[in-house]
Structures are given as structure tokens and as C-alpha cells.
Structure 1
Amino acid sequence: MKLSETINRIAPLDQEAMQEARQRWNSIAKPLHSLGKLEDCVCQIAGMTGDSNVQLDKKALMVFCADNGVVEEGVTQTGQEVTAVVAENFLSGQTSAAVMCRLAGADLYPVDMGIRRATGVPDYHVRRGTANMVKAEAMTREEGIRAIETGIRLAGVLKRKGYKIAATGEMGIGNTTTSAAVASVLLSCQPEEMVGRGAGLSSGGLERKLQAVKKAITLHRPDPDDPVAVLHKVGGLDLAGLAGFYLGCAAERLPVLIDGFISATAALAAAKLCPGAKAYMLASHCSKEPGMKKILTYLDKQAVLHAEMCLGEGTGAVAFLPVLEMGLGVYREMSTFSQIQIESYQELK
């Protein structure tokens, strides 16, 4: 589906379903609001789907994989060839996210958005990796839009397969560098506020990374009011695909979990393209990358988990799924005050 058509399909949350969910929570025989953000998440999901009978029995993690030309600048600890290796390992179940998906009962779908070499991963590539953004635009505008629309299409695939919630993940050596550039521009903040050590950089590597982000922004001067321009000039194919995926999930009324810094940066781009898409996102955890809190503040999200994770792949989002399901279990199965014939709690001023 086209980007403009998707944005036009994104509707506000169903307030009646949310109110029904809140009333259900308040009727359960426990102190009011005592499951905190878990209660809020269930109510929000009711609003997303338009049904207070919330179901999360079919879960998926969609992992967007792509290579980034900026690796040439020495901004990573490992080489670009690692992207393809890890992407293939998703298929064999030999990644952190794959192990966690098995434990969480979630289906894992890696997609090749632009890995340098062909792999056995389902192929949706727009191009074989981006250009080095320090020297040229990462991709053309047309390629950026194609990547966004690919993400939209993949959200539709999950919806048609009957999934009730989607988690977001990514794999691409160098993508904390592109994410820092995109987030710096979209939030109009200094790169120093966004650039972190990623998967483990030395102080020298961190400085190279910071300079690469600064040079790319100075060279291309992307317009913060044009998220597509930001993504195609200093972003990545994984980020563009993820941004489209968030928009597609919102259009399909499919709840979607934000993972860490990279996933959140894509969510930021999606929200800039369509502010209404924010309502369909849930923040799973707060990555320890320095820009994460700023992005969540802009998105008006509060992460539930604070475990200082920074692995990527969707691991934080998948880790949140069992916690969310525990809250939903209470919501669906616990007795109400009237059923056990005791006086209900009252809201106190």
C-alpha cells in the first residue's frame, strides 16, 4: 500500500473499548491500578483493536536486516559481514532474539531489507546496503519510500495471518550510527545527545562515530520537517522499513512494540510522518543508549522494563511479551469484587 493511503487509514483509538477495559480492571478484586503500566497497556490495546476482550495469543517479531555504508568510517567494532551471518542465524534459531522468541511463544520473521550479500533470509531488499552517508546520501528518496512501503506491506501480512501483536527488531552493523543521525535531526538536538557506544566502542571509536554523524548531517542538511528526506539521506533501509512497519500496524489496528534505540528512532520517524501512529505503539524497555529517553519523551511513552539492555534484534520487545501476558491473564481470569461478594475499592481524592 502507498504511504499516503496508509497515513489516511490511521484512525484514533476506540475510546469506548478503552473505557470498557478500564471498568474491567476497576472491577477486579485487587487494589485499584495496582498493576500500573500493565493495566494501561491492556486498555491501550483495547483501544487499538476496538475490542475490550483483549487477545494476545498469536505474537510475532519482525526483524528488519540491512547493511550501512557508514561502517567504512570505523564506527563499529565488527565488520559489515556480521550482518549477513546474524541474519542467517535467525533462520537457524541461533540468535538471542530467536531463543527468547521460543520462550515467549512468538514467531520470528527476519526480512532482508538490504544486506550486502544475498542470504537465505526472505528477500525484500530495496538495494544491497546503503551508501556511506558521510560521502553521499544513504539512498535515493525513491528508495527510501520503497523501503517504507515495504514495511507497510509486511504489517499487512502479519494482520492477514491473524497476529494479535507485533514486536519490532533489526539487525545491521552500523545502525546505531544512522539512528543517531536520524534522531538528532528529527529532534533538532546535538549529535552528542544521541551518539552512544552501540555494541561496544572504544573511546576512539565513539569519537569517530560522533564525527561521522556530524559530517553526514552537515553535508546533506536534511529537513527535520521531511522525515522521508531524513531517512533517505542519513538513515538506513532497516530504519525506513521499520518506520513503514509502524505506520502499517497503525493502519491495520495491530498493536506494535517498540524495542530499543534503533527501533525507537524508526518509531520517531513514523510519528513525524503521522502523529496518530503513536497511539498504536507500546514502549517495551528503555535502552541504555543515550538518546532513548529523549525519543520516548517525544513519543509520550513510558517504558515498562528498565534492564539496561542494548542488544537489539527485538530482544527487549520480546522480553516484555511474557510480562504483558501476565497482566492480561489477571485482566481476563481474576474474579471481580461482586463475584467474591466483597466491597470494591473506591477512587480516593
Structure 2
Amino acid sequence: MSQVIMQQIGEIRGLDQEAIQRAKLHISNLTVPPGSLGKLETMAIQLAGITGKVKPFFDRREVIIMAGDHGVCEEGVSAFPQEVTPQMVHNFLAGGAAVNVLARGAGAEVVCVDIGVNSEISHPDLLSRKIRYGTANMAQGPAMTYEEAIQSILIGVKVVEDAVKRDVQLFITGEMGIGNTTASSAVSCALTNISVKDAVGRGTGIDDARLLHKISVVEQALKVNAPNPLDPIDVLAKVGGLEIGGLVGVILGSAVHGCPVIIDGFISSAAALLAKAIHPTSADYMIVSHASHEQGHRLLLQELGLRPVLELDLRVGEGTGGVLCLHLVDAACRIINEMATFESAGISGESEDQK
């Protein structure tokens, strides 16, 4: 494991257990039957543990969209051409993408980072952190060097650090990169016992014939590169993507700074699996927004050991599911901040003979 990365993330602490217990006690006194708040209660307790506050609230939140291209697109694994990546980056910057629309409704800022798009992009609102012009074709050899993989993670960590200095308190993972479901499938298989056939899905909507081809490409990439499952950075370098590495850094950086990080869909979950492999405690800071319609996502979430909040059959990516989950984060915070207790409302609690 890279000493540079461990130096950056060595400060990740476990959740504040005292705050968790105080949150549980407070919730047990709210004017609802015990346990009836379900996932909202679970989320409120987790947020208390992350922040150390029984009554947290998040005024500043940010979607970080990492954008990068994939050399494996040479193998014809996507229904869309690679030029869609920079076109969508411009769409994000213009505020016209699905994630922009949903973010406006949820009161979140959208930040787009060019970490490896295979073209020149210039825009005053773009964070240009390009490492290289897309990855190499992982079906023929490593997607990137080990050093580039480390660099991609550190860029994500730094983006979060800079945002925290602007008082951002919560992060949502987003991504853009034609071909990235192929890389995410390969990462999933390299780190787990998930079979390639189970991990690979239709991505941008490929037909049956191309799906079979995509499966064979992932199998070839794993065979050619033999990524080491005991070294997540080796896995990232050999069969991952620059934007996936950037998201690993976003997740680790959020945990370092004691901020919740909402994980979006399949690609973000592959990044989350890498982050957990690098530093297991980082998983305590993750909220999985939804189970996507991408085939391997549920299996990936099982490996993470995390339950999704929503189930909407989404497979847009971009951070859309994560932004929708913000409404439920807000609901959990409002309940614990604003709901009356049995005592304050003058309502009788659970009777002793029912306990």
C-alpha cells in the first residue's frame, strides 16, 4: 500500500460511540413507536456518529463528478461513442444534466472534475485535474500505472479538502466516463468472488450480443493483468479508471474530515469497495443511496455490507441517486432536530406492562 496515501488517510477515526448512544436515547423518546422510523432512524444514528452531534444538519453539500475516459472503449463495449464524455461534461457545466436538475431541487452544488477526459476541455467552472487523456485499453494491458492510480486517489482527497475549507459538510459521489461500467465490473471481480457473468451489466443499454462481448472483454482484462486482490491500488491501476480512483479519494477524504459521503450507483460502489479495501473504517462514513438497475450492483453492495436507502431502477450515474437520497438525509435530520419528545409534548410513553 502506498505510504503517501496512508499518510493522507491515517486520520480516519471510528464513529463517535458516545454520540451514537445519545442519539439512540433521544430517538427512543420521540413521539413515535419504537423502531418505527426504520431507515431514517438508522441514518440519524449514523450521522450522529459521523459528526459527533446528536442533532446534525448539513447546510452545505456538494456533488463531486469525476470525469474520465476509458481505453477499453476500443473493444466496442458501449452503446455510446467516447466523445459523449466531454459532451456530458459541458452539459454538467451548463446545468442541463439530470444530476443538475435534481441537485437544484435538493439544494446541492455540482462540481465537475476533469481527471482524465480524452480531449481538451476549457470552462471557468471546471476543475481541471487531468492526469492523462483517458486510460489505456485494459484488455491489452494495465489501464494506468501504479503511480497514476495513486495520483487519482490523492486528487479526490484534495478536492474534498478544498471543499471542506469552503464549509462543505456532506459529499455525494458522481461520475462520467463512457466505458466505466466495464472497468467497475472488472474491479468488482478482482476484489471479490463475484463472477464476471454476474458482474457485467448492460451499462448504457447494450444488446445481448454486445453484452456477451463485454463479458469476454472483462474476462480478458482480468486474465491479461492478473490484478492483485490484496492490493486495491494494483486493482485500480490494472483494470480501473481515473474517475474511479478520484472517487476513491473523495470517499477517503470525506472520512478523514468527518463528513458523510453518499454513494451513488454501480461505479461509485466499485470506488467504495476500493476505499474500504484501503481503509476499512471509511465504510462507516458511507450512505448507499440506492440499488441501481445495473446487474452487478446488488452483489457489490452485499460485498460492502451496506444497505441501499432507495430502489428506483436507476442506472443514470452522474450522482443522481445520491442527490435524491439527500431528501431522506434531510428528513432524518429534521426528525431528530424538530420532532417533539413524549415529555415535551405531554404524551404518555410506552407503559411499563408493555415493555
When the two structures are superposed, what TM-score results if normalisation uses the length of structure 2? 0.96
Cα distance in 2 between the residues matched to 1:163 and 1:42: 19
Does residue 198 (structure 1) correspond to residue 203 (structure 2)? The answer is yes
Could you tell me which residue of structure 1 aligns to residue 7 of structure 2? Answer: 5
Letter in 1 for 2:56: V
Contact 2:55 2:333 in 1 (8 A): no
The CA deviation string for residues 274-322 of structure 1, in whole angstroms up to 9 with x for no partner, is 1111001011100121221122122221111011111100000001101
Mapping 1:268-283, distance limit 5 Å:
268-283=273-288
Secondary structure, aligned partner of 1:9: coil
Mapping 1:319-338, distance limit 5 Å:
319-338=324-343
- CA apart distance, 1:64: 0.4
Could you tell me which residue of structure 2 aligns to residue 71 of structure 1? Answer: 73
Secondary structure, aligned partner of 2:10: helix
Could you tell me which residue of structure 1 aligns to residue 136 of structure 2? Answer: 131
Residue of structure 2 aligned with 1:232, choices 223, 228, 237: 237
Cα distance in 2 between the residues matched to 1:45 and 1:312: 24
Residue of structure 1 aligned with 2:156, choices 151, 155, 161: 151
Cα distance in 1 between the residues matched to 2:332 and 2:106: 14
Could you tell me which residue of structure 2 aligns to residue 297 of structure 1? Answer: 302
The CA deviation string for residues 36-61 of structure 1, in whole angstroms up to 9 with x for no partner, is 11111111111111121201111110
Could you tell me which residue of structure 2 aligns to residue 181 of structure 1? Answer: 186
Residue of structure 1 aligned with 2:115, choices 113, 124, 133: 113
Mapping 1:215-226, distance limit 5 Å:
215-226=220-231
Could you tell me which residue of structure 2 aligns to residue 265 of structure 1? Answer: 270
When the two structures are superposed, what TM-score results if normalisation uses the length of structure 1? 0.97
Does residue 42 (structure 1) correspond to residue 51 (structure 2)? The answer is no
Residue of structure 2 aligned with 1:247, choices 231, 237, 252: 252
Contact 1:65 1:114 in 2 (8 A): yes
- CA apart distance, 1:88: 1.1
C-alpha RMSD of matched pairs (Å)? 1.4
Could you tell me which residue of structure 2 aligns to residue 207 of structure 1? Answer: 212
The CA deviation string for residues 8-63 of structure 1, in whole angstroms up to 9 with x for no partner, is 11111000111111112111111122121111111111111112120111111000
- CA apart distance, 1:145: 0.4
Could you tell me which residue of structure 2 aligns to residue 25 of structure 1? Answer: 27
Contact 2:194 2:299 in 1 (8 A): no
Structure 2 residues without counterparts, runs of 5 or longer: none
- CA apart distance, 1:346: 6.6
Contact 1:188 1:224 in 2 (8 A): no
Contact 1:259 1:317 in 2 (8 A): yes
Cα distance in 2 between the residues matched to 1:339 and 1:76: 58
Could you tell me which residue of structure 2 aligns to residue 87 of structure 1? Answer: 89
Letter in 1 for 2:253: G
Letter in 2 for 1:334: M
Seen in structure 2, the aligned counterparts of structure 1 residues 77 and 35 have a Cα distance that, compared at 3 Å, is: same
Contact 1:183 1:265 in 2 (8 A): yes
Contact 2:69 2:116 in 1 (8 A): yes
Secondary structure, aligned partner of 1:338: helix
Does residue 284 (structure 1) correspond to residue 286 (structure 2)? The answer is no
Cα distance in 1 between the residues matched to 2:134 and 2:150: 15
- CA apart distance, 1:246: 0.8
Letter in 2 for 1:329: R
- CA apart distance, 1:223: 0.6
Contact 2:190 2:235 in 1 (8 A): yes
Further displaced range: 294-303 or 316-325: 294-303
- CA apart distance, 1:327: 2.4
Q: How many positions carry a matched residue from both structures?
A: 349
